[in-house]
Amino acid sequence: MYALDSTTIHLCLKLFPWAHFRRRKGAVKAHTLLDLNVGIPVFVRVSCGKTHDVWMLDQITPEAGAFYVMDRGYVDFARLYRLHTAAAFFITRAKRNLDFGVRQRLATQPASGVRSDYLIRLRGPKSRTLYPDTLRRVSYVDPDTGKRLTFLTNHLTLDALTIALLYRKRWRIELFFKWIKQHLHIKAFFGNTPNAVATQVWIAVLVYVLVGQAQASLSVAAGPPRNLPGPERHSFGKNAYF
């Protein structure tokens, strides 16, 4: 099970004139694929700040049977269909203006927070061509906060509540980004070239992985390394990144 996301690292445009992001700001993006079972990144790609997140879906090789958990910034039906045809599963947030037709209404348990569970087909003239197969749309209300969330997945048989709980684990990649920025030097750079910036980001990721491996080998703590993003303990509250 993997979480796919990116974090923006802001740069001074005067010092990094090649890193155009906005009119007066510079930035690069670190696109990351995080293994949620161990909390360790398995793929990182550094790009310019203007790169759209869905670009990352073209850079990974889908793993059959794996789950890819993403926010709705990755909703691109052509790319999602590529995951589907590779026998991989995805869970993402559905966009509000999604045009679809309901093929089947699945049974739900209101006490679980699941409000609806539909098997759907896209109806938009373009989207139904890009994704011609059946999708699943799950509407869920977090019992702790009352926040309503709608998920889109190509897994048609998994329990609807499990779909919501799997998406919740995406929070671990946000914790990873937060730890990297707080503990390692990726705000003050020692070089101004694209290669210098990418090298420093890679060093930060390598330190994270090495600390995790060292703590695991010394049996300091079970699970993720101490002071690194630990097991997910958050609800779908206001502090979650969606």
Kindly state whether residue 24 falls inside one of the protein's structural domains. yes
Residues 50 and 155: their CA atoms lie apart, in Å, by 32
For 222, counting Cβ atoms within 10 Å of its Cβ (0-12 exposed, 13-18 middle, 19+ buried), the class is: exposed
Domain carrying residue 204: 1-70+170-232
- Here the contacts of 86-89 (C-beta below 8 Å, separation 24 or greater) are 86/62, 87/62, 88/62, 88/63, 88/64, 89/65, 89/153, 89/154, 89/155
Kindly state whether residue 181 falls inside one of the protein's structural domains. yes
Kindly state whether residue 113 falls inside one of the protein's structural domains. no
pLDDT of residue 15: 83
Rounded to two decimals, what is the model's pTM? 0.82
Kindly state whether residue 3 falls inside one of the protein's structural domains. yes
CB 124 within 8 A of CB 135: no
Residues 130 and 167: their CA atoms lie apart, in Å, by 24
Kindly state whether residue 37 falls inside one of the protein's structural domains. yes
Averaged pLDDT in 10-residue chunks for the chain of 242 residues: 92 83 85 90 89 91 95 94 97 93 91 92 93 96 87 95 93 87 68 84 85 74 48 37 24
Neighbouring CB atoms inside 10 A of 157's CB total 6
Kindly state whether residue 216 falls inside one of the protein's structural domains. yes
CB 201 within 8 A of CB 186: yes
Kindly state whether residue 218 falls inside one of the protein's structural domains. yes
pLDDT of residue 184: 63
Kindly state whether residue 224 falls inside one of the protein's structural domains. yes
Total structural domains within the chain: 1
CB 150 within 8 A of CB 164: no
pLDDT of residue 117: 95
pLDDT of residue 114: 92
Backbone phi, psi, residue 221, to 5°: -155, 150
pLDDT of residue 239: 31
pLDDT of residue 127: 93
Residues 18 and 13: their CA atoms lie apart, in Å, by 8
